[in-house]
Amino acid sequence: MPAGVVDVAAKGVRLERHAVLLRRAAGAKQLVSASSHLLFRATVLATLALVVLFAVHYPSLLSHSFSLSAAPASGSGSSLSSPREVRRSATPRRDGALSVLVTGAAGFVGAHCSLALRDRGDGVLGLDNFNAYYDPALKRARQRLLASRGVVVLDADINDAALLERLLSAVPFTHVLHLAAQAGVRHAMRAPQAYVASNVAGLVAVFEAAARHADPQPAVVWASSSSVYGLNTEAPFSEDHRTDRPASLYAATKKAGEAIAHAYNHIYGLSITGLRFFTVYGPWGRPDMAYFSFARSIVAGEPITLFRTSDGADARRDFTYIDDVVRGCLGALDTAGRSTGSKSGKKRGPAPLRVYNLGNTSPVPVTRMVAILEKLLGKKAHKRVVTMPTNGDVPFTHANVSHAARDFGYRPATSLEAGLRHFVDWFVRYYKVDVRGGGNVLAGKTAKRKSMPMSAAS
């Protein structure tokens, strides 16, 4: 066969092979395309099926109403509070009364304030996330007591922005009492992110919801702290003193909160009042506080640690009884003044921006507090005295409350002796402590019992 014919035949064979390969590739492409279409359709159908199932089982989350979780009276598990229950709790029972959203309502100050507001006829709705910073059983017990007085406390977190937006859009709150926070000076060294998440991000979430999703805007009263005075050495501590030298991360987050409050007041016309609490104590208190942990250690026969400054002086605190603080909180709410902004972002003019000390004005050596507890519990403490570490604690606190006295009549009226007596009365009942004959035995951390008054003066 001539060479030219052979070349043509070879080329023909190669062309035929290419054609076969191209046909195979086209077939594979069509198969992949068909598979992709089938997969897409299957995915769409599966998604629609999931949406239908979700709508059937959780219709409230796809509607304009809201369902919010709140633990039942037994404190075990959780259930859904209906919009009707939420609104009933938030509705005032007398003309001219307030409607207050209280965050941290199952906490120490939050529970007392919620009861005091309810007792005078205000509407109250609480939020709390029941975290485990200290025994949640105590928070659940406070929640049950509030429920017995008609106050709903929702199991919710202030960092849930969508929930706050729905809530403030649906309920016409006149005020927000924002007490939810991560507390504790020393714990901040072990869990710093918790403080930023709660005391900074959580505060922003509350301000955002109040400023941009409520109509009308509520006035906000929130818990700052005496810790913002930090390394200040002027005494008594005044709101006019500098607060730019925090001694702990906790203090720094509260100082940041005061700066954030200024921004939301300026931009959105939100009425904001910050309250700097000074070592609050009393019945239903926080177990991490010194007076509470000392009482438990004394009863259990365990040693307690007392701090002294480097020059040998006792640490001193401006111990402030809970009922005095509650009166200050209610006074701040009553005189807060209106917000001047709106959901549209327009501001009618300046809104109130205030900050107040709430203290007792009488610093007491911690050793004196221990001596009172020893007398009330009928048992001596095993003391261990050490030099105060550089962990954020300060050697003393001392409140000047003249601004609060001028603006809403704040006058602390409870001595440390009287306040600790009320605390010990509650403590021995709640924990079933036998103080007769020097028995002093803790019956259990979370003893079951009937609800009792929050404090002797409530």
Which residues does residue 273 pair with via DSSP β-bridges, in sequence order?
A: 221, 354
- Enumerate the active-site residues: 250
CA dihedral 368, 285, 404, 216 (to 10 degrees): 170
SS3 content of the chain, % helix, strand, coil (to 5): 45, 15, 40
Q: From residue 58, how far is each of 50, 77, 156, 236 by CA, in Å?
A: 11, 18, 18, 55
List own/partner pairs for 337-340 with CB under 8 A and 24 or more apart: 337/219, 337/271, 338/216, 338/219, 338/271, 339/210, 339/211, 339/216, 339/217, 339/218, 339/219, 339/268, 339/269, 339/270, 339/271, 340/217, 340/269, 340/271
* 154: helix, strand or coil: strand
Question: How far apart are the C-alpha atoms of 286 and 138, rounded to whole Å?
Answer: 9
Residue 327 CB burial class (10 angstroms; 0-12, 13-18, ≥19): buried
* Half-sphere CA count of 192, side-chain side, radius 13 A: 6
DSSP structural state of residue 107: S
Q: Which of 268, 267, 264, 262 is nearest to 343 (CA)?
A: 268
Query: How far does Cα 84 stand from its chain's mean position?
Result: 24
| Helix (H), strand (E) at residue 413 | none
User: Who's near 455: CB < 8 A, 6+ residues apart?
Assistant: 112, 282, 283, 284, 322, 323, 422, 426
Question: How far apart are the C-alpha atoms of 367 and 384, rounded to whole Å?
Answer: 11
8 A C-beta contact, residue 425 and residue 291: no
